[in-house]
């Protein structure tokens, strides 16, 4: 049996594609964790912003160099970088083979590479016109999968996956293209009737987060009380330049509505810092919003000036040093907020999905429903027995800016 070493770069949506590519093209291969053992190196690339492109290219060349020493090994490249620069890549890197993944999200079957959780991709592309984003340029407009196809794929994972994570570029837009009406409510209703202890929804667009969706999340015990809703900024002038829907007041009302309908919930958002024309006043509006909105988790990203985007042509570019300074200050403020929020969980018992053991901390670790994998904090805890990929009740005894600590009860 031939062996394959897999590198999936970028977002969870890419990982979902990787698992489908493995099933479609490499299901008879043995996945190995040591590249020296592999006959094939498979790289699923990301090209969202310049650092992602650089990481993808560096990774390809890393394995091309390995192939020069061992000519019989194959380097196979797929993903967003190929979709965006296919002909150029083939010309510049003749040592590699290139495999298109267009339409792969529509196929059935996958090789699950994660353990306790798995991503379920419900759409491809995006119909928004955000000024900073390249995704619609090479992924195209939003294309929803058929509802029954998604449910069939979920059925295959039912009973073996503890946490099902719903992903797409714009999850709340699901169904608006093919069904001409929002279908996320129907999809989540069907999925929550299946045997998944946790269902997590990622990437809500603010405009389409409806009361009915929030009420469904609140009423279904296996849908995590976790709202991932990237606002991207809080200054009205910057939101307008970004071509984003909404305003400070509208976002304030959304946050208030979430907390009213789901009192014990975790709200994660993300912000782009240093967008062209971002003044000190715009930046201070963002900082003020952090204090007023009290988000549970926030990701801050430095604006990346991509030549293909509308924002590339805007004036008022912010210097890199200034962007780094602003991100550092915003991160510090948010860490203090997160620390205070996490302190409020001390003394409470939570259902935790155990994911492993950290020998340095001499503790098991996992997550509550309020933490998404790989981007949020962890719960470190003491227990008498290992039950990886299963749930335990943990009494929280301590916290810091990111993580919780406790013991099994």
**Of the candidates 76, 72, 80, which has an alpha carbon nearest to the alpha carbon of residue 50?**
80
pTM of the model: 0.90
pLDDT digits (tens, 9 = 90+) for 191-248: 999 999 999 999 999 999 999 999 999 999 999 999 999 999 999 999 999 999 999 9
Under the banding of pLDDT at 50, 70 and 90, the label for residue 385 is: confident
Residue 13's pLDDT band, with cuts at 50, 70 and 90, is confident
**Angle in degrees, 0-180, between the axes of helices 248-261 and 280-293, rounded to the nearest 10:** 10
How far is Cα 153 from Cα 199, in angstroms, rounded to an integer?
Answer: 14
In contact, 267 and 201? CB cutoff 8 Å:
no
> What's the rounded Cα separation, in Å, for the pair 63 and 43?
9
Tally of helices (H runs) and strands (E runs) in the chain: 11, 18
Q: Which two tokens stand for residue 220?
A: 């279904």
- DSSP reduced 3-state for 45: strand
- State the DSSP code for 296: S
Average pLDDT over residues 91-100: 88
Q: What pLDDT shows up at residue 81?
A: 86
3-state secondary structure of 18: helix
Enter the DSSP assignment of 39.
S
pLDDT of residue 115 exceeding 80, the answer is no
**Predicted local distance difference test score (pLDDT) of residue 129:** 93
Tokens at residue 283, please? Answer: 């930046």
Q: What are phi and psi of 91, to 5 degrees?
A: -75, -40
pLDDT of residue 66: 86
Report the SS3 class of residue 90: helix
d(CA 258, CA 214): 7
> pLDDT at position 67, please?
87
Write out the DSSP string of 300-358: EEE----TTSGGGG-S-PPPHHHHHHHHHHHHHHHHHHHHHHHHTTTT-EEEEEEEEEE
Query: Per-residue b/e over 272-295, b at no fewer than 16 CB within 10 Å?
Result: bbbbbbbeeebbebbeebbeebeb
- 196 Rama sector, left if φ>0, alpha if ψ -120 to 50, beta otherwise: beta
- Contact at 8 Å (CB) between 49 and 306? yes
Whether the pLDDT of residue 106 is over 80: the answer is: no
CB 90 within 8 A of CB 167: no
> Measured between alpha carbons, how far is 324 from 293 in angstroms, rounded to an integer?
23
What string of DSSP letters covers 208-253? G--HHHHHHHHH-TTB-SEEE---B---HHHHHHHT-S--HHHHHH
Model confidence pLDDT, tens digit, residues 14-60: 888 898 899 888 988 999 988 889 999 999 998 878 888 889 999 99
107 phi, psi to nearest 5 deg: -80, 160
């Amino acid at each position: 049996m031939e062996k394959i070493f897999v590198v999936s770069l970028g977002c969870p949506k890419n990982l979902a594609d990787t698992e489908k590519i493995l099933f479609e093209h490499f299901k008879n291969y043995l996945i190995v964790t040591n590249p020296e053992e592999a006959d094939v190196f498979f790289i699923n690339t990301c090209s969202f912003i310049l650092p992602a492109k650089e990481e993808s290219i560096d990774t390809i060349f890393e394995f091309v160099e390995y192939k020069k020493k061992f000519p019989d090994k194959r380097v196979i490249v797929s993903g967003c970088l190929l979709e965006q620069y296919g002909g150029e890549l083939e010309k510049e890197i003749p040592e590699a083979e290139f495999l298109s993944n267009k339409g792969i999200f529509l196929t059935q079957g996958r090789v699950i590479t994660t353990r306790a959780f798995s991503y379920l991709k419900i759409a491809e592309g995006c119909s928004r016109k955000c000024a900073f984003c390249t995704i619609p340029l090479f992924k195209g407009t939003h294309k929803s999968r058929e509802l029954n196809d998604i449910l069939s794929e979920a059925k295959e994972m039912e009973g073996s996956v503890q946490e099902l994570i719903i992903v797409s570029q714009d999850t709340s837009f699901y169904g608006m293209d093919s069904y001409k009406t929002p279908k996320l409510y129907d999809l989540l209703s069907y999925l929550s009737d299946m045997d998944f202890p946790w269902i997590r929804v990622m990437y809500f667009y603010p405009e389409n987060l409806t009361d009915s969706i929030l009420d469904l999340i609140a009423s279904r015990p296996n849908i995590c009380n976790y709202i991932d809703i990237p606002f991207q900024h809080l200054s009205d002038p910057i939101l307008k330049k970004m071509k984003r829907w909404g305003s400070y007041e509208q976002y304030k009302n959304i946050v208030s509505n979430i907390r009213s309908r789901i009192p014990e919930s975790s709200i994660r958002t993300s912000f782009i810092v240093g967008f062209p024309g971002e003044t000190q006043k715009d930046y201070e509006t963002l900082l003020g919003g952090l204090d007023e909105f009290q988000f549970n988790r926030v990701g801050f990203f430095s604006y990346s000036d991509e030549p293909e985007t509308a924002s590339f042509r805007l004036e008022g570019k912010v210097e890199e040093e200034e962007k780094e300074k602003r991100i550092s200050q915003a991160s510090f403020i948010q860490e203090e907020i997160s620390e205070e929020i996490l302190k409020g969980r001390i003394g409470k018992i939570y259902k935790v999905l155990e994911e492993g053991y950290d020998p340095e901390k001499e503790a098991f670790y996992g997550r509550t429903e309020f933490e998404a994998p790989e981007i949020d904090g962890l719960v470190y805890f003491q227990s008498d027995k290992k039950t990886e990929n299963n749930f335990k009740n943990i009494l929280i005894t301590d916290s810091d800016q990111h993580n919780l600590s406790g013991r099994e009860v």
